Amino acid sequence: MKSVALLTLVILGSVFAIPSPNPPQDIPRPDIPPPEIELNAVDSHAPVLGIIPVDTYLYWIAKVYPVESLIENLEDSIAGAQRRLTKIFHLTTTEDIPRGTPCADITVLFARGIKEDGNLGALVGPAFVNAIRKKAGNRTVAVQGTNYPSTIQGYLQGGDPFGGRRMTIDVRYHLIRCPKTKLVMSGYSNGALIVRNSATVLTDLTMRKVSSVVLFGDPRYPEPVPNVSNSKLLNICHNGDSVCRLGSNMVLLSHFLYVRDVEKAAEFVISRLGDS
């Protein structure tokens, strides 16, 4: 089953990736077969994380992450896969905004998924942030990962309570300190629950100051996000993702593949900068 999934994923990835002009020499590169099917769900032709092609990144996600597992059994396998992915691609999995930093034009608050390293993780956060910076033009971008223990226990509780409080504090702090910044709230998987829990606590007046909300693999999809208008919300759920489609605790490979969607998500963020 896994070999079939890997082959399918590699075929899909080759359709929407541009070969890197100067690929990192220390990253093993897969042999990509010719595309055999048309990929309609993804419209992305840009590398992720600078010059790393999407197909290469997806290949290694499929290679090191489980194809199918109950969420209760994922903790060790996710942690190990995360470490391998971080090492292969030399990922920066933590971003903080030091106190005293000048206000940025765009401020991104991102909550990572279960057992991901740092405060951004590896599967979505770094690539999403990179895509926003690339599309921001002359605008400055500041990024704060949500510092919380992203555990399976917290996920099963409906989102870690500390994580929700932490994001709520970050939202209030950055809106007070930098009232002109365009604030983006975003999260992947468990992190999407953190965003939801924070939005529930924050007042409607505060949430109206938020420029956009972007969720990946949201376990409560397609429920509305409290105090967030549909025009400001992008909630991405893959058709084959049982976590967000069915609310299931069975995690399939498609739940780990949201790096495919970071370009579309970044375009949405930029398009909503005038809304808050």
Residue 189 annotated as catalytic: yes
Contact by Cβ (8 Å): 106, 273: yes
Catalytic residue among 55, 160, 170, 241: 241
Contact by Cβ (8 Å): 106, 132: yes
Strand 233-236, strand 68-70: pairing: unpaired
Token representation of residue 146: 């949500």
Residue 241 annotated as catalytic: yes
Q: How far is CA 121 from the centre of its chain?
A: 8
Neighbouring C-beta atoms of residue 211, cutoff 10 Å: 20
SS3 79: helix
Neighbouring C-beta atoms of residue 203, cutoff 10 Å: 10
Catalytic residue among 189, 198, 212, 254: 189
Q: How many CA atoms lie within 13 A of 150 on its CB side?
A: 28
Within the chain, residue ranges assigned H as helices are: 2-15, 54-64, 75-89, 125-135, 152-156, 161-177, 190-201, 204-208, 242-246, 262-271
Catalytic residue among 55, 218, 255, 261: 255
127 closest CA partner among 253, 256, 276: 256
Q: Which residues does the annotation mark as catalytic?
A: 189, 241, 255
